[in-house]
Amino acid sequence: MSETELGSVSAAQHAASMASYVHAGCARAAQLGNRGPLRFDASGGLHPDILAAYREHGYYVFEGIVDEQEIAELRADIQFLLDHAPTGQGASVDHLGRPAYGQDFAINPYLFIKPLSDPWGGTKILGGRHPTRMIQPTPADTAPDEVVHILTGMCQTMPSGLRLYGHPDLLAIAAAINGDDFVPYNDATFVKLPGLGGSVSWHQDGVTHWDNPDWDDGIHGFNFQVQLYKCTARNCLWVVPGTHKLGRIDIKSLIADNAGSEQLPDAIPLLCQPGDVTVVNRQMLHGSFANTSQDLRVSLTFGFHRRSSILGAHGALGQSATETYDEQRIFERSQLIQVAIDARARHHPEETRFSYQPFVGLEDDYRFNRECFEHIVRDYNLKDLSI
């Protein structure tokens, strides 16, 4: 199917059209591998084989990092958010007529879209980084007018989300990739409801450093995705391995050269079980298709940068372009990491807490409590570091 067929196919037709592509993509993923349990070397650093594989392909799938109990806690908090969501974008009550959750935050935690739609493709939204639009199948007559697409601010809306942000293994991976003085980016939880979830058209995340004379294949950082449910080829993120090394890609031409089809031939699906965590270079060409399957996907997505990529850069992707990220601004946003480490340690005293290099010696100033929540955690996403 091509872009000219937008809105002209049913959900069933879309699912059928994906069958052979899904089969081939799964075969490519199996052949490439690039997944396994988290491993460290003798000195406690991320195993060099994993780091080399990530740098070569631009992604890695870590199997079973988050245990079943923590997944259950995360699922429960997500379900609370969905149960107390407004009835649609701009609404103030939930489906039971109660005040919708999250209205006291500076940024509404809920982003709604039309079922099976591509909200950003072919628009200027997010710096125009989604230049083509995915097929938007016609949803069933019984489908709601709007569905939740993204939940934001997981560290303030979900106690389990804040604890996840301080996960020692995830922070150790961030340090291995971006250096011990790594800095945060943002977070967004993607919700792909069965038969309703929207698509995210092919794109590369970074917008700031493509013309930087010091450009390299890691300059725009990476994103984790913590998977709460099984990810199948029909609802998961797809990536094109190696594209993080190619600079800015002409996506329109790429789709045109593929006979206008969004089914790019070299892409692979990031198949996951609950508790698996993907790490994807933000320069990687990636996207996801409308979820015409009956499988739910919930992916808690949060990223990290090199300090050198952020320091002196200007805001992007929703942050004010007139704002310069100086040391104070970076420090203010990075406080959340130290608070999350303490919140997690209180809930998981059996773990060895991560030592975050920029806050060594300051740990006692960033203990998790009500005052800390109000001054550091609440509305932290106003200070995201976006490039």
How far is the CA of 95 from the CAs of 86, 91, 154, 304, in angstroms?
A: 7, 10, 22, 35
Cα atoms in the Cβ-side hemisphere of radius 13 Å centred on 365: 7
The position carrying tokens 């790594």 is: 182
Is residue 3 over pLDDT 70? no
Q: How confident is the model at residue 8 (pLDDT cuts 50, 70, 90)?
A: confident
Is residue 127 over pLDDT 90? no
Is residue 2 over pLDDT 70? no
Percent of the chain with pLDDT over 70: 98
Give mean pLDDT, residues 41-59.
96
The answer to whether residue 342 sits within a structural domain is: no
Number of structural domains in the chain: 1
Per-residue pLDDT, 7 = 54
The answer to whether residue 370 sits within a structural domain is: no
Give mean pLDDT, residues 76-80.
98
Q: What would the pLDDT profile of 266-316 be if each residue is shown by its tens digit?
A: 999 999 999 999 999 999 999 999 999 999 999 999 999 999 999 999 988
The answer to whether residue 340 sits within a structural domain is: no
Q: What is the DSSP string of 276-311?
A: -EEEEETTSEEEE----SS--EEEEEEEEE-HHHHT
The answer to whether residue 166 sits within a structural domain is: yes
Report which of 185, 177, 237, 239 is spatially closest to residue 208, judged by C-alpha positions.
185
The answer to whether residue 229 sits within a structural domain is: yes
Q: Are 321 and 376 in contact (CB under 8 A)?
A: no
The answer to whether residue 217 sits within a structural domain is: yes
The answer to whether residue 324 sits within a structural domain is: no
The answer to whether residue 279 sits within a structural domain is: yes
Per-residue pLDDT, 5 = 44
Q: Domain holding 273: CATH number?
A: 2.60.120.620
More confident residue, 1 or 276: 276
Q: Are 166 and 273 in contact (CB under 8 A)?
A: no
Q: Are 275 and 163 in contact (CB under 8 A)?
A: no
Per-residue pLDDT, 6 = 45
Q: How confident is the model at residue 242 (pLDDT cuts 50, 70, 90)?
A: very high
Q: Which domain holds residue 149?
A: 3-312
Packed helices 48-57 and 168-178: angle between N→C axes, nearest 10 degrees: 60
Is residue 103 over pLDDT 70? yes
Give mean pLDDT, residues 166-170.
98
Q: Are 213 and 289 in contact (CB under 8 A)?
A: no
Q: What would the pLDDT profile of 314-356 be if each residue is shown by its tens digit?
A: 988 877 778 899 999 999 999 999 999 999 999 999 999 999 9
pTM recorded for the entire structure? 0.95
Is residue 171 over pLDDT 50? yes
